Amino acid sequence: MTDSFNLVRSITNGVFKKLPYITSLPPAKGTDTFYAKVNGNYYHAESISAGIVTGRFIVKGGDANDSKSIILQFNRYFYVGLDSTLTYFITLPFPAAYPFNLDQYYYSAGYTENFNENYGQAIGRIIMTNYDPVAKRLSGKFDFDASSLTGNKTVAISEGYFSVGY
């Protein structure tokens, strides 16, 4: 275990009380959907989570044990610069397409397989099809190609779709 200073800490003695032991993530809500093709093979997420963190939507679909997952991150707002000094924030229009690219601050995607094989630097797009802030629901389509962090493999994610509550 590492602490906030990235120092390794070992717990050698102590008691944990009323700590549940689970071997899988909670299942997706009946109203949530997340699926895609991974290198041409159909993938349907069993555990789906979504939320807003520091102004960005984060949507994740994973296996029950989280050994395989797809994560999408995108801004809640679209940034429009009128000149070199002014930037205005407008609510994201729907439907609209936005690119995943190497500028990962605004829109990014990733894929994890077998717990530790991570793919990032995604190139692709997300197409927002619905955003209902009153019902707190969001849906869209996505596709992207990503490289393993070691750089020697790629993965193609296609025909992706999500509809989630957040």
Q: What is the pLDDT of residues 86-118, one digit of tens each?
A: 433 334 444 455 666 545 456 788 889 887 788
Write down the pLDDT at residue 14: 76
Count CB-CB contacts under 10 A for residue 70: 27
| pLDDT at residue number 92 | 45
pLDDT at 19: 64
Distance CA 78, CA 118 (A): 28
For range 20-36, the mean pLDDT: 71
pLDDT (mean) for 119-134: 81
Distance CA 145, CA 60 (A): 17
Interatomic CA distance for residues 133 and 92, integer angstroms = 11
Does 40 have pLDDT greater than 90? Answer: yes
- Residue 5: the pLDDT is 58
Which of the two residues, 141 and 86, has the higher pLDDT score? 141
